[in-house]
Amino acid sequence: MKNYNVIEVENLTKKFGDFTAVNSISFEVKKGEIFGFLGANGAGKTTAMKMLIGIAKPTSGKAQVAGFDVFTHPEDIKKNIGYMSQKFALYDDLTVKENITFFGGIYGLSRAKIKEKRCELVEELGLGDIVNELVGSLPLGWKQKISFSIALLHSPTIVFLDEPTGGVDPITRRQFWEMIYKSANNGTTIFVTTHYMDEAEYCDRVSIMVDGKIEALDTPKNLKEKYNADNMNDVFLKLARNSS
Amino acid sequence: MSISLQHISKSFKTVNAVNDVSFEVKEGELFGLIGPDGAGKTTIFRILTTLLFADKGTVTVAGFDVVDDYKEIRNHVGYMPGKFSLYQDLTVEENLDFFATIFGTTIEENYELIKDIYVQIEPFKNRRAGALSGGMKQKLALSCALIHKPKVLFLDEPTTGVDPVSRKEFWEMLKRLQQKGITILVSTPYMDEAELCDRIALIQHGKILQIDTPQEIIKHYPKKIFDVKADNMYRLLESLKSYEHHYSVYPFGEFVHYTDKREDFNPQELQQYLEAKNHQNIKIEITKTTIEDTFMELAK
């Protein structure tokens, strides 16, 4: 299944004035891959991600996401990807059900389809008891799991996850990753950022950004060998500590 | 005792944020409050820093009662809240000067204490705080919390959302502050940071699960943990969970942490089971327990 690229990036660059936030990065992500996008705070991850999801225009370079060009077809990209972050997730003053209906509508699903998807979700996540509760009253872990499912409502080719597990308890964090594995197994491509280095090990391949550039990109196993490190935390420390 | 909480409870409407919590922090100790979002950590910090009344229980900080002597406490503690709460429109230096003045001191008087941290942001002292990067904001906030030479320092999730490099540097700074005699209470959702504290309290849903040194907490874990590995992680998890003797199955970095219900568990049997399920490159090895394993066992 993993035979073609759903993200292709070549020399992608973003400048703000004389500051180069993203400096000529190039990489590909295959269908069904779990791709970890790591880097220190301020390394340029968020800016790079914004370009890939079609909400920031690159200064130069090339990028295709889900088959569409980021320069010419950002709207088509938005329709074909899912996105979740900790900052923008769900509406706290809508119920779980209302959130599902709302986002289903935004993505242009029919009423029948929304209902079908909602029933699937309730079943899969065991939401029976809380489907009519306000999202604001739920624990963070629940919110993140629901938020992830909603990002998948319209069956996107790729889902972008921006620090999805920050502050989440260790058990829920693992349940969340099991959901990620499951969707990747079903062919959805996962593009994820995290500060938990144990989670970096769960990825098929990992890139590490330092000062706007991709300094390393490989499987966790190869990275550990190359940098002679016991775990991804050591790899990260070795690479990122050399930065300014 | 530098900090003492006895039977503290606090509710907000229907939510029991803190439920009969007691613990003590010794003078000069680096004590960690370890738990996820929503565990009640911030509520405890707000009670300790006299910003919130507990419904029940008594609390003293640096020898003062949080209700009767709240003004004394405010002079003797430093507090770095989880959310950045400095003045975004003031420059780095203005913020620091402001906090020094409020506490009746000057930057020069206590410069020695903050020097280590402040030199890293001093080149940007004329930049507005709002325009600093996350790591620099954190260093400024810590400098401001220290400028009046507090006896006790409260740090509420100082490293949340911070990358591993900056997290490591931050903990090195804390260790140096501890050597200067400051008692530190720090909260974090990162379990690996727990092992850097002298003692920790594991907390979830407003209740303390356990209090001890990290080493003792790990020692009390009731089972042997095995690292299990095979080519397809997702399938491996599924197989392990459907193994009838499994007790717990958690992804842990490149491995799965597996525990078995049986006392006399033989890894060879599991190996055969996984082989029968067509797993490739299977590896099973006994491994070290971490705080995170303990937390998950207690929180189950």
Q: Which positions in chain A touch B228 (Cβ < 8 Å)? A: none
**Separation of alpha carbons A171 and B249, rounded Å:** 10
Query: Would strands B183-188 and B30-34 be described as parallel, antiparallel, or unpaired?
Result: parallel
The pLDDT score that the predictor gives to residue A244 is 46
Q: Look at A172 and B36 and tell me if their CB atoms are within 8 Å.
A: yes
Question: Which residue among A139, A220, A240 sits closest to B38, beta carbon to beta carbon?
Answer: A139
The pLDDT score that the predictor gives to residue A88 is 66
The pLDDT score that the predictor gives to residue A242 is 61
Q: Which positions in chain A touch B189 (Cβ < 8 Å)? A: 166-169
The pLDDT score that the predictor gives to residue B30 is 97
Q: Which positions in chain A touch B295 (Cβ < 8 Å)? A: 170
Structural domains of chain B sorted by starting position, each given as residue range(s) with its CATH number in brackets: 3-219 (3.40.50.300), 225-299 (3.30.70)
Do residues B45 and B79 make contact, with C-beta atoms less than 8 angstroms apart? Answer: yes
- Give the residue ranges of DSSP H helices in chain B: 41-48, 70-76, 92-102, 111-118, 134-146, 164-179, 191-194, 214-219, 233-241, 267-276, 291-299
Q: Look at A41 and B161 and tell me if their CB atoms are within 8 Å.
A: yes
Q: Look at A240 and B163 and tell me if their CB atoms are within 8 Å.
A: yes
Q: Look at A185 and B164 and tell me if their CB atoms are within 8 Å.
A: no
Tracing tokens 């804390």 back to the chain, one arrives at B174
Dig out the tokens for B206 from the structure.
């407003």
Q: Look at A233 and B164 and tell me if their CB atoms are within 8 Å.
A: yes
Amino acid of residue B101? T
Residue A155: count of CB within 10 angstroms of its CB: 13
Q: Which residue of A has its CA nearest to B292?
A: A170
A231 touches chain B (CB under 8 A): yes
Question: Which residue among B134, B165, B299 sits closest to A240, beta carbon to beta carbon?
Answer: B165
Q: Does domain A33-42+83-240 correspond to CATH entry 3.10.450.50?
A: no
**Phi-psi sector, B86: left (phi>0), alpha (psi -120 to 50), beta:** beta
Q: Look at A169 and B35 and tell me if their CB atoms are within 8 Å.
A: yes
Which residues in chain A show pLDDT less than 50?
Answer: 1, 244
Question: Which residue among A141, A184, A195 sits closest to B162, beta carbon to beta carbon?
Answer: A195
A contact residues 150-179, partner B, Cβ 8 Å cutoff: 163, 166-172, 174, 177-178
The pLDDT score that the predictor gives to residue A243 is 54
CA distances from A223 to A48, A204, A208, A227, B181 (A): 22, 12, 10, 6, 41
Question: pLDDT tens, position by position, for chain B (300 residues)?
Answer: 899 999 999 999 888 999 999 999 999 999 999 988 889 999 999 999 999 999 999 999 999 999 999 999 999 999 999 888 899 999 999 999 999 999 999 999 999 999 989 998 999 999 999 998 777 888 999 999 999 999 999 999 998 878 888 888 899 999 999 999 999 999 998 888 999 999 999 999 999 999 999 999 999 999 999 999 998 888 999 999 999 999 999 999 889 999 999 999 999 999 999 999 999 999 999 999 999 999 999 888
Q: Which residue of A has its CA nearest to B203?
A: A169
Q: Look at A231 and B36 and tell me if their CB atoms are within 8 Å.
A: no
Q: Which positions in chain B touch A238 (Cβ < 8 Å)? A: none
Question: Which residue among A41, A141, A233 sits closest to B162, beta carbon to beta carbon?
Answer: A41
**Separation of alpha carbons A189 and B272, rounded Å:** 32
